[in-house]
Amino acid sequence: MEVRSENIQARCDKVPAQVIPRTRLQGWFVRVCSSILLWTCLVQLVAVGKLWHSHLFTGLTNRVSWVIRPPVHVEEAVQSPPPLLPARNYESKGFLRVSCNGGLNQMRAAICDMVVVARLLNLTLIVPELDKTSFWADPSDFEDIFDVRHFIDSLRDEVKIVKRVPKRFSRKYGHEAFQMPPVSWSNEKYYLEQILPLFNKYKVVHFNRTDSRLANNGIPLDLQRLRCHVNFQGLKFTPEIETLGHKLVQILQRMGPFVALHLRYEMDMLAFSGCTHGCSQEEAEELKQLRYAFPWWREKEIVSEERRQQGLCPLTPEEAALILQALGFDNETQIYIASGEIYGGENRLASLKAAFPRIVSL
C-alpha cells in the first residue's frame, strides 16, 4: 500500500500546474450551460402553457411568470396593438369619394359596399362622409362614431384609404370631381364596365348617394367576404362609444336576462314604408307629408294595406307583444327597446308594456 501511494503521489507531482485551473473552468462552464438550458426549458413551458391553456401547466406557468416578471394589475397592463398586415401593393386608378345617406345601419352597409368597390376597381378610398341632412339631422362625422385609424389600418391589405383627396385634385386647384349616384343593386360588371372608365377620365368620382347598394347575390365570394370583414372588423366604434355600450350592457345584465328589441316603428320608417296600420287619420296624413318632404324618397303615393299584405311593414308594438309571448317569453322578461322614439309615444307602447312590464328604454 505504501508503494502504491508513493507511485500516485509521484504521478501527481508530474501533472502540470495549468491543469487544475482548467478543470475548475470546465466545471463553471458546465454550470452556466446547465443554467441556460434550465431557464430555456422554463420559458418554453410558459409559452406552451399559455398556448394550450392546460390545467397541468397553470400553476407552474404562474410561478415561473412571477419569477421572470413580477405580476402587474390588469389596469396597469398596456395591450400592444396587433401587428399590421402588409399593405396591398397596387397602382391606384383614382380616388373614390362617397357621401353616405340614411340611418346608421344604412350608412354602415354602404361603407362596406364602397370598400368592396374600391378593392374591385383598384381605387383609393376617401374616408366616407356621413349624412347630416337625414330625418335625424345628426351632425356626427365618421371619426365621431368610428375609429378612423383602425378603419384604415385593418383594411390596408385590401385597399388604400386616406382621410382626404390630395390637394392637386381639390377645388382650390381648379379640379371638380365628377358626381353621380351609382345604379341601385348593381353587380361587379356594372362597376367594371361603366364606373371604372369614369376614373380614367376624371380621376376623382364622388358618389353623392350610397343607398344604391352593391348586389347581395351573384357577386364573387371574395367580395362578399370582404364586405363581412369591413362590417365586423373594419368598422370599430370609438373607445368612448364602446365604453358606454359596455356600461349599458352591464347595467342590464345586473338586472337579469334581457331581450333587445328593435321595433323599427319610428316616424321616418313608417313614412318611408307607407305603413300606417293602427294609426289615426291625422297620423297617416302626417306621415304622408313627411314622405313628400324628402325628394329622394321616390315612392309617394302608397297604399298601406297593400304594402302590409306584401309583408313589407314593420310589426306594430301590439304585434311584437304577441310574437314574444308566442315564443315563450313571460311577463318577467326584461325588454330593452333598442330603437329611436316610437311613433305614437307611450300610448302606442301601452299594449307592449301591459304584456311585459319590465321595459327599459333610453
**DSSP secondary structure of 280-324:** -HHHHHHHHHHHHH-TT----S--HHHHHHTT-SPPPHHHHHHHH
Confidence label for 12 from pLDDT (cuts 50, 70 and 90): very low
Of the listed ranges 1-15, 88-102, 147-161, 309-323, the one predicted with least confidence: 1-15
- What per-residue confidence (pLDDT) applies to 44? 60
| Helices 19-52 and 55-68, packing angle to 10 deg | 130
Average pLDDT over residues 124-143: 88
- What per-residue confidence (pLDDT) applies to 15? 45
- What per-residue confidence (pLDDT) applies to 191? 95
Written as nine digits, the cell of 61 is 406557468
- What are φ and ψ of residue 298, in 5° steps? -65, -45
User: Residue 83, SS3?
Assistant: coil
User: Residue 245, SS3?
Assistant: helix
Q: Which residues touch 5 (CB under 8 Å, ≥6 apart)? A: none
Give residue for cell 362597376. 191
Distance CA 134, CA 273 (A): 16
Query: Are 146 and 237 spatial neighbours (Cβ–Cβ below 8 Å)?
Result: yes
Which ranges of the chain does DSSP label H, i.e. alpha helix? 2-14, 19-52, 55-68, 104-121, 142-145, 148-154, 188-190, 196-202, 221-229, 239-254, 267-273, 281-293, 304-309, 317-326, 345-355
Higher pLDDT, 93 or 278: 93
Sign for the pseudo-dihedral over CA of 17, 20, 26, 31 = negative
- What are φ and ψ of residue 322, in 5° steps? -65, -40
- What per-residue confidence (pLDDT) applies to 76? 42
CB burial of residue 246 (10 Å; 0-12, 13-18, 19+):
exposed
- What per-residue confidence (pLDDT) applies to 25? 60
- What per-residue confidence (pLDDT) applies to 114? 96
Residues of the chain above pLDDT 90, percent:
54
